[in-house]
Structure 1
């Protein structure tokens, strides 16, 4: 998915910033639409035909779409010269960097007690440390940490360490609590529809209040919706708690996917071309690792009665994510809110609500 967003950056070069915003929204909309249609189609085939027919259908679909995807990649690569030029520049850098390193002068230091020109034997631990420090894995993380957008990236990755989504853990808990499968399916469909709405709302907000502030407002709107999920812990009346949980998660998808688009666009704007692949790879690996940790947490707290513990941990992680992003915004802008505009806003509202003396 990050490869698609990287191509969007190259394709939008020379165009207004709104073009990149729109391309990101369309790509994310296609992604969310696929995630919505896939389970619906699977359920229909299983219900009206059979499980085997569903497996055969999706195997056939995967085979066909693999070739379609390959054809689309080739078409885009051939039709947009900027992508080929970007690839040529990257290959040129990879060919010139080793030459520059080998041409550098090498200084030989003679340690007392050793023969001239014969360096002392190094310990095995030191050799291992050198190999690790020079590995591509460590080098990739060094590049990632040096980026200006490292805090937004970590903030986005932390949102993967959660069970507050229509994934397997929450779905299993809802079924254990007696929620019918079709109700869960409806909730998942509403959640996906709200996520699709984010791809429409994001360009509108981003064009008016900037990418940074769109990320801030979208994140804390998501956090506010998740308060309903936390409140469901103390509700003991029938299935109301379960419906509160589903409602809070579904409503939070609007802010979640808007925040996702805001962070991605910041990475596209601020990460240099030479580091985009490395930063994207590290970001994806970090998100996958935290997603895996969420399932490990589900194994540790496996009793559905204790799902409230997972809810608290997930909400705490989301809160930490928001604080990290807020710190980043404050570090960039030196403020979070325009407090000087609050009296002016209050005055305008006062005049709008209360009529003037001449109208009374």
Structure 2
């Protein structure tokens, strides 16, 4: 037992394996969104279809993949997921490189149908890569590190902290690196680099995990349930799924959870949709990478500030601070719609399926000075998103701890599982909006919708506070101010342990 806790070499190997995997994930996630716009510059349709497909796949197959992990040896689930993930990225990067190298020839095959098939293939392998990445994260971060720390809560907390730091660091550096690479090399070279990285990284990751698996006997001890009948297991799964939703909707926490899920209905999150819109407005890859990194830094500041805010203001006040800060910053993005350089045209009528331009036309790029002269709206747009990350992370940490503290221990898995499904459903709604409003000229409508949903989330959380007043001993005439006042006094009496946040994607 002690040997497991003291094996620093094993810890360093798991950190290195996770860093390699996270770096490859961040590079591909950032690059593929840009490539979708480069290949289809007149619309955000491809970007929206990509994001919608990924969200739908994770929502649909997240549960079955978790069940497969439970029924499979640890080394098998970890290595298979790494192999599939890296193979999918390599195939997608290779397809992109060939598209850029032979774009003229590909256009002439089957009247352009081959290029459409290539687009579909890239989206397909991106979905596979994401599913494999989710599987790998569950296997390593939710299972392996628990075994490695051997039940030592202090060691487990340290490992979780280091793993999260690695994630945030790659979120900052990987977009910056790949953005610079695409700007100063070429788009084809960037795709080739990503393919080579994942080829080498995959072998190293598997090698490290095999060594760890061989060194730690506890990892090889796993009970695998093979006794359940497939038909009964299927019926129980359906029953448990409906029962989980019923428990969630009957629980007092539901309004806080639904309010938080409204923040997932956003086009202001530095995802493929956001980066695609920025690229379409002449913002080059390196500047997009810089702003993405700044957003991650602002998010870190929010997460670091959360314990201080909670001690000083109380948990309810801190949550509202997060919501209000997020909505206020998004209003800056709304202002950007009406500033000089904005492409917003409220009268634009867009047929998302009518302009499938197979050629990747040359996009005009602006320097920072030129961007200020011709696209002032982008500075307001970027500023709003970057500063909003503070409120987003404060809200995320607040709701995360609320779900941990307010939900009975026997229901935490069910409630949190349904919460994740609702979050992904909001993400799907976002992509539906983008699919039907894919043009940069109509992106302003999506910005306004994002701002409205952020306000709706805050209002639903206020509804939760009113509904919970009976549990806090308040009468019918309780106000938000009374709840916050009592919350502040309670927070000074019994500070609670901080929890791990729900949004590491955003």
The answer to whether the superposition gives a TM-score over 0.5 is yes
Rounded to whole Å, the distance in 2 between the matches of 1:70 and 1:322 is: 47
Q: 1:259 aligns with which of 395, 420, 427?
A: 395
Q: TM-score, normalised by structure 1?
A: 0.67
Q: 2:324 aligns with which of 209, 212, 220?
A: 220
- Contact 2:252–2:464 (8 Å) recurs in 1: no
- Contact 2:244–2:415 (8 Å) recurs in 1: yes
Pick closer, same or farther for the CA change 1:263–1:5 going to 2, 3 Å: farther
Rounded to whole Å, the distance in 2 between the matches of 1:278 and 1:133 is: 12
Match of 1:85 in 2: none
Q: TM-score, normalised by structure 2?
A: 0.49
Secondary structure at 2:443's aligned position in 1? helix
Q: 2:465 aligns with which of 313, 329, 332?
A: 329
Mapping for residues 260-275 of structure 1, pairs under 5 Å: 260-275=396-411
Rounded to whole Å, the distance in 1 between the matches of 2:376 and 2:299 is: 23
Pick closer, same or farther for the CA change 1:31–1:276 going to 2, 3 Å: farther
Rounded to whole Å, the distance in 2 between the matches of 1:71 and 1:274 is: 36
Rounded to whole Å, the distance in 1 between the matches of 2:404 and 2:207 is: 28
Rounded to whole Å, the distance in 2 between the matches of 1:252 and 1:61 is: 34
Secondary structure at 1:299's aligned position in 2? helix
Match of 1:157 in 2: 261
Rounded to whole Å, the distance in 2 between the matches of 1:176 and 1:277 is: 42
Mapping for residues 88-99 of structure 1, pairs under 5 Å: none
The alpha-carbon deviation at position 243 of structure 1 amounts to 1.0
Larger radius of gyration: 1
Measured against aligned partners, the alpha-carbon deviations of 1:149-183 in whole angstroms (never above 9, x if no partner) come to 21221111111111112122222222222223222
Match of 1:178 in 2: 282
Rounded to whole Å, the distance in 1 between the matches of 2:338 and 2:239 is: 50
Measured against aligned partners, the alpha-carbon deviations of 1:257-291 in whole angstroms (never above 9, x if no partner) come to 11001000111112222222222221112211211
The alpha-carbon deviation at position 23 of structure 1 amounts to 9.7
Secondary structure at 2:318's aligned position in 1? helix
- Contact 1:25–1:202 (8 Å) recurs in 2: no
Structure 1 residue 236 corresponds to structure 2 residue 372: no
Gaps of 5+ in 2: 1-133, 229-234, 342-373, 470-477, 486-506
Q: 1:33 aligns with which of 169, 174, 184?
A: 169
Pick closer, same or farther for the CA change 1:303–1:286 going to 2, 3 Å: same
Match of 2:198 in 1: 58
Match of 2:18 in 1: none
Q: 2:447 aligns with which of 311, 325, 343?
A: 311
Q: 1:202 aligns with which of 281, 306, 314?
A: 306
Match of 2:81 in 1: none
Secondary structure at 1:302's aligned position in 2? coil
Pick closer, same or farther for the CA change 1:187–1:43 going to 2, 3 Å: closer
Gaps of 5+ in 1: 80-87, 96-130, 342-360
Secondary structure at 1:165's aligned position in 2? coil
Question: For the aligned residues, what is the CA RMSD?
Answer: 4.1
Pick closer, same or farther for the CA change 1:42–1:183 going to 2, 3 Å: closer
Rounded to whole Å, the distance in 2 between the matches of 1:50 and 1:272 is: 49
Pick closer, same or farther for the CA change 1:247–1:316 going to 2, 3 Å: same
The alpha-carbon deviation at position 227 of structure 1 amounts to 1.1
Match of 2:383 in 1: 247
Measured against aligned partners, the alpha-carbon deviations of 1:170-204 in whole angstroms (never above 9, x if no partner) come to 22222222223222222111111101111210111
The alpha-carbon deviation at position 205 of structure 1 amounts to 0.9
Rounded to whole Å, the distance in 1 between the matches of 2:176 and 2:160 is: 25
Match of 2:413 in 1: 277
Q: 2:434 aligns with which of 298, 303, 313?
A: 298
Pick closer, same or farther for the CA change 1:284–1:304 going to 2, 3 Å: same
Rounded to whole Å, the distance in 2 between the matches of 1:6 and 1:331 is: 37
The alpha-carbon deviation at position 43 of structure 1 amounts to 4.3
